[in-house]
């Protein structure tokens, strides 16, 4: 990537982050209703901290403590659960901090002194936080008594895209998965390696809301036989009776409260819920190798992304966008995985325990950020993310 194109991309990504915060009040950007949902102000500061500390190598001692996320090599930090307690620095100061670091980054890129690989990593890191800003903000607003809309001018989905679920047969064999050497990829997508995959069938679209409604009507949340042991414990501990944000026949979206659309792709399902509904349907979740094999060769630019300005799943068949799709694969290193040198070695590898892999991006992901080899990961009980499921069957399995 040339210095000119890197500079243009830097400005575009940084401006896109600010646009996501524009509809918010100051108060909206300070709230942290749970440990996993960081305040918008913190996202704005942390993504800036990454460029100042990792790329420019000149951390501010105060901000390094306040806005370091989990990098042990870079010193102590504010506990994740206490990010919402920081009324200082003010939002104005955080925005001034962004402007100052942007000026320094632009000078470094123009002078050729900014490490290109680290800058590109910082941009993809910021795109991850653009998505997290929206998912965290949805939890902030969607759990308030009045459930206010983030925006009231979001585009409605196109009704003509409704599609019934069918099954696609995928030949197996020895295949290669993982990122190639072309273009950007995170370290957890590498190295590319061979795996054996049995022939299988994959649903042509993710589960829809009516699938979940049928599961609820059949008593699925009350029947232990569908659930993993930890999942059944979560059902009782968290008192789950429906996906997150559902209340009777309506649910909260970033555009406000709406009636549940049976045809829309179901979202905010935990891994446990996805697995239970799959079992109830006589199906299963795909492995991440199966998912990547089925997605290889498809255009990741085609799908419902944040750029489409809907910020809610549609009802299409694309394997990219709409919802992150749970797989049955535990998040683990690929054979031959090597962490990056320095502090960025903590970016992915340290989380390879107790997490499940998701694939495909969502309606809150920036277009161009995901690819077939992209590996997202969350704990199996996570529900505040834009997560859903595409069913799989063994070859010749019952439908």
Q: From residue 211, give the alpha-carbon distance in Å to each of 167, 170, 239, 261.
A: 16, 23, 20, 11
Closest CA to 322 of 284, 370, 273, 379: 370
Do the Cβ atoms of 90 and 39 come closer than 8 Å? no
Contact 40, 136 (CB under 8 A): yes
Same domain as 164, residue 83: no
DSSP for residue 94? H
Q: How many of the other CB atoms lie within 10 Å of CB of 295? A: 21
Domain count, the chain: 2
d(C-alpha 159, C-alpha 163), whole Å = 10
Q: Which residue has the higher pLDDT, 160 or 393?
A: 393
Is cis: bond before 191, omega within 30 of 0?
A: yes
Q: Are residues 96 and 28 part of one domain?
A: yes
At 159, the pLDDT band (50, 70, 90 cuts) reads low
Please identify, among 142, 176, 209, the residue that sits at the C-terminal boundary of a domain.
142
Closest among 200, 195, 193 to 179, alpha carbons compared: 193
Number of Cβ atoms within 10 Å of the Cβ of 399: 12
Q: For a pLDDT cut of 90, what percent of the chain falls above it?
A: 93
Residue 153 forms part of a structural domain: no
* Cα(249)–Cα(213) distance, integer angstroms: 10
Decide: helix, strand or coil at residue 204.
Answer: coil
Domain's final residue, options 142, 173, 208:
142
- Whether residue 152 lies inside any domain: the answer is no
Q: Write down the mean pLDDT value for the chain.
A: 95
DSSP-derived letter for residue 321 is B
Shared-domain flag, residues 217 and 284? yes
Residues 6+ apart with CB under 8 A from 187: 337, 338, 339, 340, 347, 348, 349
Would residue 188 be called left, alpha or beta, if left means φ above 0 and alpha means ψ between -120 and 50 degrees?
A: alpha
What pLDDT does residue 395 have?
83
Q: Over range 274-284, report the average pLDDT.
A: 98
289 and 359 fall within a common domain: yes
Three-state DSSP at 117 gives: helix
Examine the domain organization and report whether 263 and 183 are in the same domain: yes
369 lies in the same domain as 232: yes
Average pLDDT over residues 256-285: 97
CB neighbours (10 Å) of residue 62? 9
Residues 226 and 124 in one domain: no
In the predicted structure, residue 162 carries a pLDDT above the cut 60: no
Distance between CA atoms of residues 292 and 288, nearest Å: 6
Residue 154 in domain: no
Residue 291 has which token pair?
A: 């998912």
Average pLDDT estimate for 17-23: 97
399 has a pLDDT exceeding 70? no
Mean pLDDT, residues 305-319: 95
Same domain, 301 and 347: yes
Same domain, 371 and 267: yes
CA distances from 315 to 154, 267, 387 (A): 17, 11, 14
> Same domain for 356 and 232?
yes
For 351, counting Cβ atoms within 10 Å of its Cβ (0-12 exposed, 13-18 middle, 19+ buried), the class is: middle
Strand partners, 246: 251
H, E, C per residue of 328-341: EEECCCCCCCCCCC
Rounded average pLDDT over 302-326 = 96
pLDDT at 163 over 60: yes
- Domain containing residue 304: 159-394
Query: pTM for the complete prediction?
Result: 0.96
Pinpoint the alpha helices (H) of the chain. 3-21, 40-50, 61-67, 91-111, 116-142, 209-217, 229-238, 271-280, 288-295
148 in any annotated domain = no
On whether residue 173 sits in a domain, the answer given is: yes
269 within 8 A of 276, measured Cβ to Cβ: no
The residue among 142, 170, 196 that closes a domain is: 142
Residue 231 and residue 287 in one domain: yes
d(CA 149, CA 157): 17
Tell me which residue of 397, 188, 157, 163 sits closest to 282, measured CA to CA. 397
Average pLDDT over residues 369-390: 98
Q: Is 399 a member of any domain?
A: no
> What's the confidence (pLDDT) of residue 397?
63
**pLDDT average, residue stretch 167-181:** 96
**15 falls in which pLDDT band (50, 70, 90)?**
very high
According to the model, what pLDDT value does residue 398 have? 52
Question: The CATH number of the domain where 232 resides is what?
Answer: 3.90.1580.10
Question: Within this chain, do residues 104 and 16 fall inside the same structural domain, yes or no?
Answer: yes
| Separation CA 307–CA 48 (nearest Å) | 22
Q: Could you report the per-residue pLDDT of 37-89, keeping only the tens digit for each?
A: 999 999 999 999 999 999 999 999 999 999 999 999 999 999 999 999 999 99
């Amino acid at each position: 990537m040339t210095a000119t194109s890197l500079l243009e991309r830097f400005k575009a990504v940084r401006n896109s982050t600010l646009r996501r915060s524009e509809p918010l009040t100051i108060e909206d950007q300070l709230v942290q209703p749970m440990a996993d949902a960081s305040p918008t102000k913190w996202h704005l500061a942390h993504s800036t901290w990454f460029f100042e500390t990792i790329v420019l190598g000149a951390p501010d001692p105060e901000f390094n403590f306040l806005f370091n996320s989990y990098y042990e090599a870079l010193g102590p930090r504010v506990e994740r659960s206490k990010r919402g307690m920081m009324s200082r620095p003010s939002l104005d100061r955080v925005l001034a901090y962004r402007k100052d670091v942007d000026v320094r980054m632009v000078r470094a890129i123009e002078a050729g002194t900014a490490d290109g690989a680290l800058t590109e990593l910082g941009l993809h890191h910021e795109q991850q936080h653009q998505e997290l800003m929206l998912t965290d903000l949805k939890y902030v607003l969607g759990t308030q008594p009045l459930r206010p809309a983030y925006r009231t001018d979001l585009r409605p989905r196109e009704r003509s895209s409704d599609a019934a679920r069918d099954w696609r047969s995928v030949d197996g064999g020895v295949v290669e998965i993982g990122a190639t050497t072309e273009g950007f990829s995170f370290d957890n997508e590498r190295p590319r390696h061979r795996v054996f995959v049995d022939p299988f069938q994959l649903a042509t679209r993710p589960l829809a809301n009516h699938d979940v409604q049928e599961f609820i009507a059949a008593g699925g949340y009350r029947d232990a036989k569908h659930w993993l042991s930890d999942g059944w414990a979560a059902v009782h501990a968290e008192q789950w009776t429906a996906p997150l944000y559902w209340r009777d026949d309506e649910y909260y979206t970033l555009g406000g409260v709406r009636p549940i659309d049976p045809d829309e792709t179901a979202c905010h399902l935990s891994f446990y819920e996805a697995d239970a509904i799959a079992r109830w349907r006589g199906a299963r979740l795909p492995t991440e190798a199966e998912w990547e094999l089925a997605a290889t060769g498809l255009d990741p630019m085609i799908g419902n992304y944040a750029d489409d300005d809907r910020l809610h799943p549609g009802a299409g068949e694309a394997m990219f966008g709409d919802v992150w799709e749970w797989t049955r694969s535990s998040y683990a290193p690929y054979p031959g995985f090597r962490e990056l040198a320095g502090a960025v070695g903590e970016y992915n590898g340290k989380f390879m325990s107790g997490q499940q892999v998701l694939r495909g991006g969502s309606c809150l992901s920036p277009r161009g950020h995901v690819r077939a080899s992209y590996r997202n990961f969350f704990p199996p009980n996570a529900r505040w993310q834009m997560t859903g499921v595409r069913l799989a069957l063994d070859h010749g399995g019952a439908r």
